Structure 1
Amino acid sequence: METMALLEKETVENLLPQKFPFVMVDAMHSYTETSLVSGLKIQQENIFVNNNTFLEAGLIEHMAQSVALHTGYQFFLRNETAPTGYIGSIKEIEIKRLPEPNDTIQSEVTILQEFAGITLVNIVTTLNNEEIANGQMKTVLAK
């Protein structure tokens, strides 16, 4: 089932600090103050595809960029420029299965806490409604 994207690839790319070929999110499906659902259709030429598999590093980068998209969109809604963010820490990430080229993955980001530019999030990544990865990250905004 193809879900309609709230924001398409070009707009999403403008809200992320990462640029091609390092962009690992190409759609935003939903957004609230405390959550976001992002998407990525994995292309064969993606820099994280090796031996017809989307590598763990690509999944983790997709998860992190989904968080960055939430922040970027928050600032966009206020007509402000989003500051650069960094992964402060990664708490256990569980990867159950690696997707392949032409798969479309989705990540649901849930903001657990936000304080002084530090955000704690929970992320669940799915492929065809099956959970393939999950974890928690802390992100930090550059001052």
Structure 2
Amino acid sequence: MKHNMDMLSHEYVLDILPQRYPFLMVDRINEVDTSKIVCIKNISGNEPCFQGHFPNKKIFPGVYITEAMAQSAILLFSFMKDSSVDNGNTLPLLYHTNIKFKKVITPGDQMVISINVVKRISNAAIVEAVVKVNDKKCAYGELTFTLMGDE
């Protein structure tokens, strides 16, 4: 599935995700198809989380890395053929995570977030997530979502 560059832009991300600064954890989509997405998050030294999270050694918090994975997965769901995420009828809720952290992420890093669908069953989805910086794996694992309808 090919998409024009406008669909992969920051504006498209804002159209799909309900999160806003400072909790928007995806800057743009690099590539996408029906079962995989690659997103980018640039880490700035000005991120609000750095004020209180190890203020003397700026390390991007694991919970924010996990949130970047979850938001990337929600963007992927919006591209899936049978998904109604993009029209607001379905809300993907993060149900369970199993994430491992290998390397710290600091200001100046660019997170490359890769999400692959492992399994999709009616109102649930399991995705595999990998976050790399400079081609080195920093975090990886699985996220499980419950897809809630508007009933």
TM-score range, shorter chain: 0.7 to 0.9
Q: Assess, with a 3 A threshold, how the Cα gap between structure 1 residues 62 and 78 changes in structure 2: closer, same or farther.
A: closer
Task: In structure 1, give the amino acid aligned to 2:59.
Answer: T
CA distance in 2, matches of 1:79, 1:115: 16
Query: Structure 1 regions of 5+ residues with no counterpart?
Result: none
Taking only the aligned residue pairs, the percentage that are identical comes to 22
**1:94 maps to which of 83, 89, 100:** 100
- How far residue 96 of structure 1 moved from its aligned partner, in angstroms, is 0.7
TM-score with structure 1 setting the length: 0.85
- How far residue 17 of structure 1 moved from its aligned partner, in angstroms, is 2.2
CA distance in 2, matches of 1:131, 1:96: 7
Are the equivalent residues in 1 in contact too, given 2:125–2:145 (CA < 8 A)?
yes
- How far residue 67 of structure 1 moved from its aligned partner, in angstroms, is 0.6
Q: Deviations over 1:25-48 (max 9, x none)?
A: 111111111111111001223233
Are the equivalent residues in 2 in contact too, given 1:120–1:139 (CA < 8 A)?
yes
CA distance in 2, matches of 1:64, 1:137: 7
Matches within 5 A, 1:1-143: 7-49=8-50, 50=53, 51=55, 52-74=58-80, 80-82=86-88, 83-91=90-98, 93-143=99-149
Are the equivalent residues in 1 in contact too, given 2:78–2:86 (CA < 8 A)?
no
How large is the RMSD of aligned CA atoms in angstroms?
A: 2.3
TM-score with structure 2 setting the length: 0.81
- How far residue 98 of structure 1 moved from its aligned partner, in angstroms, is 1.7
Larger radius of gyration: 2
Are the equivalent residues in 1 in contact too, given 2:31–2:38 (CA < 8 A)?
yes
Number of matched residues?
138
- How far residue 11 of structure 1 moved from its aligned partner, in angstroms, is 1.5
CA distance in 2, matches of 1:46, 1:73: 29
